[in-house]
Amino acid sequence: MSCSCSRRSFLRWSALAGTALLARPALGTVTGAPTLRPFAAPRIGGRRVLAGSLHDHSTDSDGDAPSDVVAAYVRAHAGELGLDFLSLTEHSDVFPASSAGADPWSRSAAVCAAHTGDGFAFLRGFEWTNDQQNHLNVIGSAGWVRRDEAFTMAPFWRWLATAPGPVVSPLVESPGGADGVGQFNHPSSKGPLNWDDYAYDAGAAARMATIEIRERAAGWYWFALMRGWTVGPVMNGDFHPWAASGLLANATPGAGTDGAGFYPGHRSLVVADDATPAALLSGLAARRTAASERPDLWATLRDRDGRWMGSTVEAEPGARLQLVVDAGTADSRIAAVALVQDRPLDDVVAAHYFGDNDLPRAKLSQHEAAYAEQHRRYVTSGGRATYKGGQEAPPPGATVLERPWEPGERTTRMHWTVPTSPSPRPDGAHWVYAVVTRADGARVTTAPLLVTT
């Protein structure tokens, strides 16, 4: 779940709630308590499939509990929650001060260092918060930058592609963020301009590694790949009400995922060598990710030669490639697996993603000027401006193969034919990713394998 309140309203009262929480010691792990993931992180191809969240908040922006309290609680209950990592990515438009006091960027570094270890990692990051274009996370960078109010992504893309140089002070924006890993946050949730209609930027593309796909956004993952971005899917908590929800007072958070007192049940999966910040950042940069709707459900994608999702391979158009999908779950059973690929940008795809926003209603919740700009782009582009709306799935025809999952199976092999039609991407690459479905309908979506011809 995510908070529907504004950041500014949170900043007034969250500090008061957080002050009371500071005096309460972190809860210890309860022996024999229920757990959301009753097995160790799976090992596949010599690596581990780690589960966590890359997007949450504390009183250092618009959450309702201090970052050290959140970190201590999550670390104490990580096994029950099925979490191997977490990142408190605060809105950098409130930097260098927040309701919790000055210099949240330094505080973030201290919290991450203090609570990382013994198989759990806190990753330092921030959320670039442009309510016209939508938000982005940057994880692992030495410095930060505020939003830019211009109706173009160009300034931020330049920053992300620029070497960081020396960070003069945590209170000052850094000259560049090319040491960080970027993430598209909650597509269709904020602003109508959609990162300049997902327009590809070659300089920033190397750093933009992930995209959130929960809350009707799986179709926008497909569209971002079509535009040329090489991103893997993730599902993060974007959690704010640690105190108000009752979670911090819950001694057995592994008893559920829905309602008051529980952390959301979806997870970002990262295939990494181990649960250390360096290994996780390496896995993110390599796009070895998947997005799962349940804490105990996981899947990965490789080719027959062991090249992981996120990799690029070479093959001729029409070649038949063998793909390997591994998956597992502790609850229910795996029911089916499907392959999703690129397809030409025809009228069906255009109708799926392009359109105008309803300005009279939309302006009530977001900036009117941005909606007017989106309408202008829609008109001048002949209707080829993206609209702010949810997309549960990729367009018709993108799912090319689906079959049942054999009972008791953990690994399955599928043959995929490289398309012979031109790829819509600027680099001409084709792509394919897997969607694994559990018997109860829960899904996990993998990062893509790319193919150059």
pLDDT digit string (tens) for 410-452?
Answer: 999 999 999 999 998 999 999 999 999 999 999 999 999 999 9
pLDDT of residue 25: 30
Q: At what angle do helices 67-76 and 104-115 cross, to 10 degrees?
A: 20
Q: Which residues contact 116 (CB under 8 A, 6 or more apart)?
A: 122, 276, 277
The candidate with the shortest Cα–Cα distance to 87, out of 102, 74, 103, 98, is: 74
Mean pLDDT over the full length of the chain:
91
Question: What letter does residue 348 receive in the DSSP assignment?
Answer: H
Whether residue 194 contacts residue 135, with contact meaning beta carbons closer than 8 Å, is answered with no
The candidate with the shortest Cα–Cα distance to 183, out of 451, 449, 450, 447, is: 447
pLDDT of residue 2: 41
Q: Which domains does the chain have, with CATH numbers?
A: 7-295 (3.20.20.140), 297-343+397-453 (2.60.40.1930)
- State the Rg of the chain over Cα: 21
The candidate with the shortest Cα–Cα distance to 124, out of 58, 220, 50, 218, is: 58
Q: In the structure encoding, which two tokens stand for residue 297, read together?
A: 């459900």
pLDDT of residue 16: 32
Whether residue 123 contacts residue 281, with contact meaning beta carbons closer than 8 Å, is answered with yes
Percentage of the chain surpassing pLDDT 90? 80
pLDDT of residue 362: 60
Residues linked to residue 97 through DSSP beta bridges, in sequence order: 102
pLDDT at 21 over 50: no
Collapsing DSSP to helix, strand or coil, 67 comes out as helix
Q: Which residues contact 108 (CB under 8 A, 6 or more apart)?
A: 60, 67, 88, 90, 124, 126
Q: In the structure encoding, which two tokens stand for residue 281, read together?
A: 């950042």
pLDDT of residue 397: 93
pLDDT of residue 11: 39
